Amino acid sequence: MANMFVHHANVLGSVATSSLTAWRGCLVVSDVPQPEQPLVLYDMEGCPYCRRVREALTALNLDAEIRPCPKGGRIFRQQAEATGGKQQFPLLVDRNTDTVMYESEAIIEYLFRQYAGRPVPGYYRERVWQPVLGSLASVASAMRGLRAKSGKQPEQPLHLWSFEGSPFSRLVREKLCELEIPYTLHNLGKEHWTEIGPAKQRIKPGPYKPAPGGKRDAFFKAHGRVQVPYLEDPNTGEGLFESSRILDYLNAHYG
């Protein structure tokens, strides 16, 4: 009961985080093809600048290989420094164009120009108040996803279906970051405004039917529903919905 109370409190904090960031990273702005080689993002989940890059990835429906680099981390921080020359995050590596980039604003501009062929939409452009709200958003989530915790490394990276603005998905990403567990982030942003709302009660009444041919349609055909977070662990063959179950699983196997 105590653990469930803590979990619900964490969910409320995560909702506040999404609210303070204006719920960016929920709707797909431009559904672009996945690049031939996956993008790699060296990332700190609780960092407001990393968050802005992940918001843009959701807006473009782009997947990425996440290399968690929390403070005190020993798994990927040195790799990031060897790749880009310093331990600064976010760090984007795009092997399709031999691009290595720091600075969230530059990365966001690059992603929209390179993969959508358009300027950054106003909703995703930097505003003078964003650093303050971004920091408050991290505080609302109790600064989770910033500092490393001891744990075991999987032999193979995990797979997480998520979208940045999802409060429940954020809790799982925070845990993955703290444990320095690499994973492929499969963005599953909402493809239309009628999909706004929780999985069991969206704005549009009636049975849920995703747009044909999209990532949500493929997920629906595979699982019979579209709900995030969803975690797959190729090391154990497990596939899990529900943030509380996923967190229990990660703590049991890797914590």
Give me the pLDDT at residue 225, please: 92
DSSP state of 69: -
Domain ranges of the chain: 2-188+228-254
Kind plus residue range of the DSSP H or E element containing 105: helix 104-111
In this prediction, residue 201 carries a pLDDT of 63
Prediction pTM value: 0.94
CA 111/CA 123 separation, integer angstroms: 15
Q: Which CATH architecture has domain 2-188+228-254?
A: 3-Layer(aba) Sandwich (3.40)
Structure tokens at 186: 């499969």
230 closest CA partner among 185, 182, 165, 180 = 185
- Residues of the chain short of pLDDT 70, as ranges, are 1-2, 199-203
**pLDDT value at residue 205:** 76
pLDDT of residue 200: 66
Give the β-pairing of 238-241 and 230-233.
antiparallel
**What does the alpha-carbon distance between residue 42 and residue 15 come to, in Å, rounded to a whole number?**
24
Pick from 107, 61, 63, 64: which is nearest to 84 by CA? 107
**pLDDT tens for residues 177-236?**
999 999 999 999 999 877 877 766 666 777 888 889 999 999 999 999 999 999 999 999
Before 90, cis peptide (omega within 30)?
A: yes
DSSP state of 23: T
Q: What is the pLDDT of residue 1?
A: 46
Any alpha helices (H) in 85-144, and if so which ranges? 104-111, 130-140
Q: Nearest 10 degrees: CA dihedral of 177, 69, 164, 113?
A: -160
